[in-house]
Structure 1
Amino acid sequence: MPPGQRLNSPCGAIYLRLTDTCTVGIGGRVDGADHVDGESISRLLRAWRARVDARTVPELRGVFPRPGRRLSQAHVARMTEVSEGWYRALEAGRRQDFSEQFLLRVARALRLSDAETLTLFLAVSGRRPPGELSREAGAGRGDLPHGVKALLEQQTSYPAYLSDVAWNIVAANSLMSEWFPWVLRPGANLMRWALLDPEAREQMLDWENACARTYLAMLRVAANSDPANAELRTLVRDILDADADCRRIWAEEHDVVEHRDGDVFRLRLPFHGGREIRVTSHVLLPIQRPDLRFVFITPVDGWTAP
């Protein structure tokens, strides 16, 4: 995918996980493919239901006749507050307009793990479970996987940082803080700095085209991907309320950009004595914490001493 390319294909590029726009059809079929790839969700649902002992399900207490060990489709329908026919359609692999709340109730009824719930959502709707990233982020900024933290700290050749879904800076290596001292400020946020801080307009060359338009397009994707995220809504509102240029760009454009991986841009930083440099950003998603972005910056033309 070329750097900065807009999302105009059914499956936008991503790293280490499926995107919300890449649909895995119910029954294990990948849309646009000519074959069934992998085990169907119908078979998985039957297997998940079969492992639940109906006698241990509190929601079925008082049901007559008293259920035996086998959890039936009728039981799951009762537990998920739908008709038996509606649940049967899901288990049979028939396409319906299954709501996220219904799928969450199915996951609870069948006692699915996080990975199983993810599989159910991707197979049926092509989307990840709602609020998944918010729950993962709830582990706290200090709770970084050891390997991710070590990789960041040991990255001494290139500036690198971790940001969350709202572009708050979670951690940064020493070279990043030398290039961009603002990352050390309390509450440092990439979008607020890049779009609202006058310093960014001096240091990010061709600020409107190379910075503002791209970052606003990224905000548009994020806000629409997780509309329930109050922090993202506040971030967008604060930026648009505070800056006339951002309001103008937001109103006149409808571009969307998922990430800035592979994007080349120009900087003029005090660290380099005000000399212009060209760099490339690289964006990775840690598999243990997909709510975080691991970003590092490399030179296009090779390093020279500052």
Structure 2
Amino acid sequence: MLDARREDLGRMLRAWRMARDPGLLPGPVPFRGHRSYLTQLDMALLLGVSERWYRALERGEDRTYAREMIAGVVRILDLSPRQATALYRGTGHQPPRHRAGGARPDAALLDLLHQQRRVSWICDQAWDVVAANTVAARHCPWLMHPETNTMTWAFSAEARYQLREWDTKWAVPLLGQLRLAWQRWPDNERLDEVVRTVRREPGVAELWEDTTGVRGDADDAARPMYFPLVAPDPLDVRVATYGRFGDTALRWVVLSPVDPSVVFP
């Protein structure tokens, strides 16, 4: 017998899914067509679970749903803080601490993002990823993980394999950007959390002390990055960051190969 509270949560989740416009999804969609809503199969494909497992969530079945799956549902359906809290608690999880800002790209910016044939994503003031295109999902799958942050990934052990010459070409300029943003927005609690996380990574504390004079705006510098689906050797890329006029809440990041003949499949 289904629990009445969980069954009611499932009905709300179904309504939230049916109200979600597929054209506004933060990531690439695994389906085609012009439907105005998402199906249960769409959700299952986006979450990487079986349709039966996702259907059980909407039915209110008392199962052990992974926290990562719930975070994915929140992200895909763009749930409000109250909706997200209800879904986390209703599935037995503690809701994540509220993140300052909560900026989301509009439909026009998402359309431009998905037209890009380069690795491209959008992040907020604290570098939390809020949207990524199909090319990014293929060549940088970490961007599609729930609650991914560009900076915390860039300083992780995993990143140091893809970001070549990491300590000089990547870590130093990124630390320059991070510390300047940290000073610029002292009230952003999420950004403060990101800084503390980054500084705990191996070797970063020393780099932090040694890079106080770094400008943090060297977007035009070529940096080597490994894309195994593109070439056997690292490629030089430039990292460009764009934003809407007068708006500092979102950053649109584009990785462009220095060699114009390089094409991302």
Partner of 1:171: 131
Q: TM-score, normalised by structure 2?
A: 0.58
Between the aligned partners of 1:201 and 1:146, the Cα distance in structure 2 is: 34
Match of 2:141 among 181, 184, 207: 181
Larger CA Rg, structure 1 vs 2: 1
- Residue 263 of structure 1, CA deviation: 2.7
SS of match in other structure, 1:163: strand
SS of match in other structure, 1:282: strand
Match of 2:107 among 137, 143, 146: 146
Whether the 8 Å CA contact 2:173–2:216 is kept in 1: the answer is: no
Between the aligned partners of 1:239 and 1:158, the Cα distance in structure 2 is: 27
* Correspondence list, 1:1-306, <5 A: 137-138=101-102, 140-141=103-104, 144-155=105-116, 157-196=117-156, 198-241=157-200, 243-287=201-245, 289-304=247-262
- Residue 199 of structure 1, CA deviation: 2.1
Between the aligned partners of 1:182 and 1:256, the Cα distance in structure 2 is: 27
**Superimposed CA distance per residue, residues 257-285 of structure 1 (whole angstroms, 9 cap, x where no aligned partner):** 34453231111122225322111121111
* Distance change (3 Å), C-alpha of 1:173 and 1:189: same
**Superimposed CA distance per residue, residues 95-114 of structure 1 (whole angstroms, 9 cap, x where no aligned partner):** xxxxxxxxxxxxxxxxxxxx
Aligned AA (2:109): V
**Superimposed CA distance per residue, residues 39-82 of structure 1 (whole angstroms, 9 cap, x where no aligned partner):** xxxxxxxxxxxxxxxxxxxxxxxxxxxxxxxxxxxxxxxxxxxx
Which sections of structure 1, spanning at least 5 residues, go unmatched? 1-133
Whether the 8 Å CA contact 1:160–1:297 is kept in 2: the answer is: yes
- Residue 287 of structure 1, CA deviation: 2.4
* Distance change (3 Å), C-alpha of 1:172 and 1:298: same
Aligned AA (2:237): V
SS of match in other structure, 2:177: helix
Superposed CA RMSD: 2.1
Which sections of structure 2, spanning at least 5 residues, go unmatched? 1-98
Between the aligned partners of 1:278 and 1:211, the Cα distance in structure 2 is: 12
Whether the 8 Å CA contact 1:260–1:283 is kept in 2: the answer is: no
Whether the 8 Å CA contact 1:266–1:276 is kept in 2: the answer is: yes
Aligned AA (1:239): V
- Residue 151 of structure 1, CA deviation: 0.5
Instruction: Work out the percentage of aligned pairs sharing the same amino acid.
Output: 28
Q: TM-score, normalised by structure 1?
A: 0.50
